Structure 1
């Protein structure tokens, strides 16, 4: 992925935090007939492997599942808050030479998937639902499917681990723009996209005029 040094993440924790907050990724695997793409939910195990391990699942009926079972090289793409940046948000100055841009944060995880057996797939599904339901007042659990509910579904699903062999991250948050221009954009975004504004603030806090 093309990037610049100034777009580097602040820390490994920030990268992992983006993955966990997104919890959903575009998954690309190279197959004999070309690239195959799916869109899947993920759980991240930060402690397993040098760069962590992703865990997900997909339908066995999905042709992508064959490539996953074969362990073919796969990339997952996680996105964070992103948005259009208009030059009209920049403070007025005599020279209006700024162009529009798009600020975003993205993480690419490269690896070779390892298929799970039925027991591993069931364990993953329980964990995934627990993670996604944890902040809800009316939490739902997989066990509420009733007797045999999980067992009936498992044959149609394949779970897999994706040990992250290579991790790429890009946080393009206005670091390459004039600081007072980026500050003007942040002030506008605080009103209509506070999540993006907060991330831009964090990535420009070290800069000086």
Structure 2
């Protein structure tokens, strides 16, 4: 992934936090017929492996599942806050001569998937539901599927680990733009996209130019 030193994340925790907040990734695997692409939810195990391990599942009816079972090279792409940055937000100094752009945070997780057995897949599904239902009012629990509900579904699903062999992160937040232009964009975004504004503010707080 093309990047610049200015776009480095503030910490590894921030990268892991983006993955956990997004939870949903575009998954691309190379196969003999070209690239297979699916869109899957993930749980991140931060402690397993040098860069952590992702865990997910997909339908066995999905042709992509055969490539996952073979352990072919795969990348999972997670998107964080992003948005259009309009030059109309820049101050006239004396003119607004910086081009508009798009600011974004993204993480690429590269690795080779390792398929799970039925027990591992069931364990992953329970954990995924626990993570996604956490703090919900009247949260749903897997046991509500009823007797045999899980057992009927497991044969149609393949779970897999994706140990992260290479972790790439890019947080393009206006760090290479003129500071007064970036400040103007932050002020405008605080009204309609406070999450992106807060991330831009954090990544530019150290600047003295």
Q: TM-score range by the shorter chain?
A: over 0.9
Corresponding position of 2:196: 196
Shift in Å at residue 170 of structure 1? 0.1
Partners in 1 of 2:78 and 2:91 — Cα distance? 32
Q: Alignment length, in residue pairs?
A: 209
Whole-angstrom CA distance in 2 between matches of 1:164 and 1:133: 25
Which piece of structure 1 moves more, 4-13 or 132-141?
132-141
Counterpart of 2:146 in structure 1 is 146
Measure how far apart 1:208 and its partner are: 1.2
Runs of 4+ aligned residues of structure 1 deviating over 6 Å after TM superposition are: none
Query: Normalising by structure 2, what TM-score?
Result: 0.99
**Range with bigger deviation, 133-142 or 164-173:** 133-142
Q: Which runs of 5+ in 2 are unaligned?
A: none
In structure 2, C-alpha distance between the alignment counterparts of 1:2 and 1:122, rounded to whole Å: 38
* 1:41-190 equivalence runs, <5 A: 41-190=41-190
User: Aligned-pair RMSD on alpha carbons?
Assistant: 0.6
1: CA distance, partners of 2:193 / 2:40: 25
- 1:20-48, CA deviations, whole angstroms, 9 ceiling, x for partnerless residues? 00000000000000000000000000000
1:138 shift after superposition: 1.5
Structure 1 segments unaligned to the other structure (5+ residues):
none
Under a length normalisation based on structure 1, what TM-score does the superposition of the two structures give? 0.99
Counterpart Cα distance in 2 of 1:134 and 1:146 = 21
Matched residues in 1 for 2:151 and 2:44: separation?
24
